[in-house]
Amino acid sequence: MKAYERLLKYVVVRTPSDENSETVPSSKCQFDLANILVDELKELGVEAHVDDQCYVYGKIPATPGYENCPKMGFIAHMDTVSDFCDHDIVPVIHENYDGGDVVLGDSGRVLEVSAFPHLPELKGRTLITTDGTTVLGADDKAGIAEIMTMIERIKEENIPHGAIRVAFTPDEEIGTGASHFNVEEFDADFGYTLDGDGEGEIQYENFNACKADFEITGFAVHPGSSKDTMINASLVAMEINNMLPGCETPRGTEGYEGFYHLVSMSGDVGKAELHYFLRDHDASMFEARQQTLRLIEKDLNEKWGEGTVKLTITQQYKNMSTIIKDCMHLIENAKTACERANVPAQILPIRGGTDGCQLSFKGLPCPNLGTGGHAYHGPYEHITVEGMDLATDVVVEIVKLYAEQK
């Protein structure tokens, strides 16, 4: 079965994670896909199971004579974002794509070259999009499909290999996908997540990340008699945001540049809240961003009275480059695998995070590979059949490379 055929099978199983849930997994629907994947792994001759927290684990023993090769792991996540995922997903196939704008069903949305300038590079391929009303789910069901197809290929083509481990995780999109991952049970020396964008991407530098929550307590009195007494919590919230550099937002940054991202806000005169994500690849600049918020909290409490502004910072994940730098063979072999698969390698920083960054700090060095997808987390998500085939080729070549190094 081709990787894209598996993708089409997986994406119609809706698996949005729920950031407001306190259960693991955050949504029971993720078990629907997990059980399908366990059955499919077993059909491929893989020892597999899903645990009570919705983590799927599979083990493939080494080819006789290759037991001394590194035990390699391949990981992808089953959940999607919850945005644009409230009804059935209908993937749409566009054969021999002409490289131009694509009307997405009757949604009123158009996949436009002006917004996605890489589109002309996909001309002539078979493009898979949404109908414009949902996410596609290629993030990260494309990664799952490519891992499954890799397994099928090494078995059908009798490709010698060391021990291979696979895992499919829940709740990556809400940042907890690696929280309950059993590294000891997985039993791999190294791993790769397949959770990137275009084929050929190799990523081992991700953001340092935290969330920052401001709670503002105002002083509400009648506006007609509030001279020198009222403290409008919503206005203080606006003041907080205006104290941040206006250009350091996701829209104004790229590459290794960090940002402050205002995720949500709410409030009235008496109470207000601001919720931010802070991101930076550089550890010292990441700490400086946090210190900026602490200084804002201090200054505004001095201005408006102690207790007016309360800041809570919650750490999320760190830059895995500090771990991967000691095992750069993962990157060099991925580059060589791209060359063998005739895929241009692209070493790019991750402007986000993956399960792999948390797993790297849990003892499983785990850079990230591209799957061939684009425009994740919204109705413009798309991928090509050929891109998935090439991403699968890269993974197969990685398996071969580590077998050659026995």
Which tens digits make up the pLDDT trace of 60-72? 999 999 999 999 9
% of the chain at pLDDT higher than 90: 95
**Amino acid residing at 45:** G
Q: Which two tokens mark 266? A: 């709410």
Residue 51 has pLDDT above 80, yes or no: yes
Mean pLDDT in residue range 222-228: 90
Average pLDDT, the chain: 96
Cβ proximity of 248 and 260 under 8 Å: yes
Which tens digits make up the pLDDT trace of 161-177? 999 999 999 999 998 88
Cβ proximity of 202 and 335 under 8 Å: yes
Mean pLDDT in residue range 9-25: 95
Among 38, 337, 8, smallest CA distance to 145 is for 8
C-alpha span between 324 and 361 (Å, rounded): 10
Residue 5 has pLDDT above 80, yes or no: yes
pLDDT of residue 305: 96
Which tens digits make up the pLDDT trace of 354-377? 899 999 999 999 999 999 999 999
Which tens digits make up the pLDDT trace of 252-284? 999 999 999 999 999 999 999 999 999 999 999
Residue 4 has pLDDT above 90, yes or no: yes
Residue 18 designated active-site: no
Neighbouring CB atoms inside 10 A of 371's CB total: 36
Mean pLDDT in residue range 327-344: 98
Cα-only R_g, the chain = 23
Q: Taking each helix axis from N to C terminus, what angle separates 138-156 and 3-11, rounded to the nearest 10 degrees?
A: 140
Tally of residues, the chain: 406
Mean pLDDT in residue range 192-208: 95
pLDDT of residue 175: 85
Which tens digits make up the pLDDT trace of 122-163? 999 999 999 999 999 999 999 999 999 999 999 999 999 999
**Residue among 18, 40, 139, 172 flagged as catalytic:** 172
**Residue among 18, 40, 79, 146 flagged as catalytic:** 79
pLDDT band at residue 352 under the 50/70/90 scheme: confident
Residue 295 has pLDDT above 80, yes or no: yes
Cβ proximity of 151 and 166 under 8 Å: yes
% of the chain at pLDDT higher than 70: 100
* Greater pLDDT, 13 or 222: 13
pLDDT of residue 316: 87
Mean pLDDT in residue range 86-103: 96
pLDDT of residue 339: 98
C-alpha span between 173 and 169 (Å, rounded): 10
Residue 172 designated active-site: yes
pLDDT band at residue 229 under the 50/70/90 scheme: very high
pLDDT of residue 222: 87
